[in-house]
Amino acid sequence: MSRTILHVDLDAFFCSVEELLNPELKGQAFVVGGRAESRGVVSSASYAARKFGVRSAMPTARALRLCSGLLVLPPQHHVYMEHSSKVMEFIRTSAPLVEQLSIDEAFLDISDDQRPGTRVAASLQAEIDQRFGLPTSWGVASNKLVAKIATEVGKPHGLISVPPDGEAVFLAPLPVGMLWGVGPKTKSRLAERGVRTIGDLALMPASRLIQLFGAHGLDLATRARGEDKRPVVEEREPRSMSAELTFERDLSDHDLLCRTLLQLSERVGRRLRKSMVAGRTVRIKLRWPDFTTLTRQTRLVQPTDQDGEIYRAALGLFNRVWREGRMVRLLGVGVSDLSPPARQLTLFDHTWEKDGRLLKAIDDIRTRYGSDAVRRAGNLKLKRLTDRGVEDDSSS
């Protein structure tokens, strides 16, 4: 039985919300993002700004060079979350199975609906526009992969429907970079062999792709044919929690870098405890001044939500890759493999119990009086740096 999967994306969501709040912004070139002087990046760009080549994740300073007169608005995440919650709640009441991917994106499985998928998507698109004043783009297909690509093709405010058994024909002329799993390096290697469209990729023998990319090559061959059996999952628990900081100025001071790691570890630990989960894998993220980014991770003996354990693991990873005097642009700490907090008790070591009670008391104080109510003395100098940097917390 063929499935009917819808994919919805709220177009330029942050900017669309800002236009709701201030209609004078409509048609203007503007972005939501961090300040250029704080080395911020673009979170969302209006379509007028995109005409100048401005894109999400681009440094704000570069965006300003591309588009003179570009207006930069600071993010209002709590406002965006409020609008997202209203739209997603409406979507959940309109389809039997909904998988929210992010603040502005979701899959809907309407396979049991007797109406054509295009009609359902068009109705929801018009209703969201009328109720919430927010533009959306929709993709309709027999699976998640093709539905999401259809949405991308139709942006902005589009609706693209791909008929069953027409997936490969639809994908064939599209750039190979639109296919999930084809990043810059894979795209470059494929281009060297004359593969520029998804159709070109689909014509490559699976054996050749496996030879080039290993098991990933087999996945690419399957996706190039438009095949995807992944189900729409109703809800998903966060798979990881992380925090990162982009410094206002590149930093090479070892002590300050270590204090940053500690502060980030504390933020992640606090969020883990608030969500009542613990994680077994600790990872760090480093970005050098030339924007080269690397990640390293390690697996713990047992899950943790303790700041100190996260920090010690992160510090060990950091010391393996950082060399004295090397400048750092961004530093991040994350914890994954989340599960309910549980400890394998040892006979003599109960220090974690004391740490847990102390952290709970600190969490309670911070909840009541603010995150800066309790701060390590060593972090006071760091506080001045982070006040001017660009911070980001995320769950994925």
pLDDT tens string 35-70? 988 888 999 999 999 999 999 989 999 999 999 999
In the block, tokens 């023998």 appear at 205
Say yes or no to pLDDT of 338 above 80.
yes
State the average pLDDT over residues 234-248.
Answer: 77
Q: What angle do CA 55, 61, 62 make, to 5 degrees?
A: 50
Q: Which of 23-32, 126-135, 239-248, 268-277 is least confident?
A: 239-248
Which one of the listed residues 18, 99, 105, 167 is annotated catalytic? 105
Domains, the chain, ordered by start: 5-13+78-168 (3.30.70.270), 14-76 (3.40.1170.60), 175-224 (1.10.150.20), 240-395 (3.30.1490.100)
134 — pLDDT class (breaks 50, 70, 90): very high
Helix 13-21 vs helix 77-92: crossing angle, to nearest 10: 100
Buried/exposed 193-224: b ≥16 CB within 10 Å, e otherwise = eebebbbbbbebeeeebbeebeeebeebbbbb
The residues, any chain, with a CB within 8 Å of residue 5's CB and separated by 6 or more, are 107, 108, 109, 110, 111, 117, 140, 141, 142, 143, 144, 147, 232
The residues, any chain, with a CB within 8 Å of residue 212's CB and separated by 6 or more, are 189
Per the model's pLDDT, the better-predicted residue between 114 and 332 turns out to be: 332
pLDDT tens string 269-305? 998 998 889 999 999 999 999 888 899 999 999 999 9
pLDDT tens string 211-224? 999 988 999 999 99
339 — pLDDT class (breaks 50, 70, 90): confident
Residue 189 in tokens: 């290697």
347 — pLDDT class (breaks 50, 70, 90): very low
Q: Identify any residues that bridge with 328 across adjacent strands, giving them in sequence order.
A: 251
So what's the pLDDT on residue 248? 82
Residue 84 in tokens: 């997202």
Question: Is 105 noted as a catalytic residue in this protein?
Answer: yes
